[in-house]
């Protein structure tokens, strides 16, 4: 499974991970190598087999809608890199 440079650039864009052209090239070669290892899975007959999303067997865990004390606003914001007053500050989304 040989990925193209363009494909790897597209994946990096989707994943929002900045990469230099050199990093893209290393990633292309390593990802191609790893994806080769996945080929064997296509030989497994999975006709009619259900998927496993997680293995503990519990489903649709619900609780009564009762309020409880959570973090205070200052605790919740204590690690925010940029704040303004009581708000988290973000950079411009649109030009």
Partner 1 sequence: MSGQPAWGLTIHEARAALDAGQLTSQELTASVMARIEAVEPTLKAFVTITGDQAMEQAQRADDRIAAGEAGPLTGIPLQLKDNLSTVGIRTTCSSRMLENFVPPYDATVTARLKSAGAVLVGKGNMDEFAMGSSTENSAFFPTRNPHDPNRVPGGSSGGPAAAVSAGEALFSLGSDTGGSIRQPASLCGVVGLKPTYGLVSRYGLVAFASSLDQIGPFTRDVEDAALVLSELAGHDPRDATSIDWPMPDYASALTGDVRGLKIGVPKEYFPEGMGPGVESAVRAGIEVLAGLGAEIVEMSLPHTMHALAVYYIIAPSEASSNLARYDGVKYGYSAEAETMWEALAKTRQEGFGPEVKRRIMLGTYALSAGYYDAYYLKAQKVRTIIRSEFAEAFSEFDLLATPTSPSVAFELGAKTADPVSMYLNDIFTMPANIAGIPAISVPAGKVDGLPVGLQLMAPHLGEETLLRAAHAYERAADHDMDPSL
Give contact residues for partner 1 (rule: CB under 8 A).
8, 11-12, 14-19, 23, 27, 30-31, 33-35, 37-38, 40-42, 44, 46, 49-58, 61, 63, 71, 75-76, 78-82, 88, 90-93, 95
* Smallest separation (angstroms) from partner 1 to the CB of 72: 8
Q: Which two tokens stand for residue 45?
A: 């007959």
* Smallest separation (angstroms) from partner 1 to the CB of 8: 7
Do 9 and 20 form a contact (C-beta atoms < 8 A)? no
DSSP letter string over 14-70?
A: HHT----HHHHHHHHHHHHHHHHHTGGGGGS--TTPPP-S-SS--------------
* Smallest separation (angstroms) from partner 1 to the CB of 2: 13
Q: What whole-number distance in Å separates Cα of residue 10 and Cα of residue 8?
A: 5
């Amino acid at each position: 499974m040989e990925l193209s440079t363009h494909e790897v650039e597209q994946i990096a864009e989707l994943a929002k991970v900045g990469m230099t052209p050199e990093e893209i090239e290393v990633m292309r070669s390593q990802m191609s190598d790893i994806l080769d290892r996945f080929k064997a899975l296509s030989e497994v007959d999975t006709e009619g087999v259900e998927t496993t999303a997680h293995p503990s067997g519990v489903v649709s865990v619900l609780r009564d809608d009762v309020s409880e004390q959570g973090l205070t606003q200052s605790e919740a914001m204590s690690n925010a890199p940029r704040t303004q007053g009581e708000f988290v500050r973000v950079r411009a989304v649109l030009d």
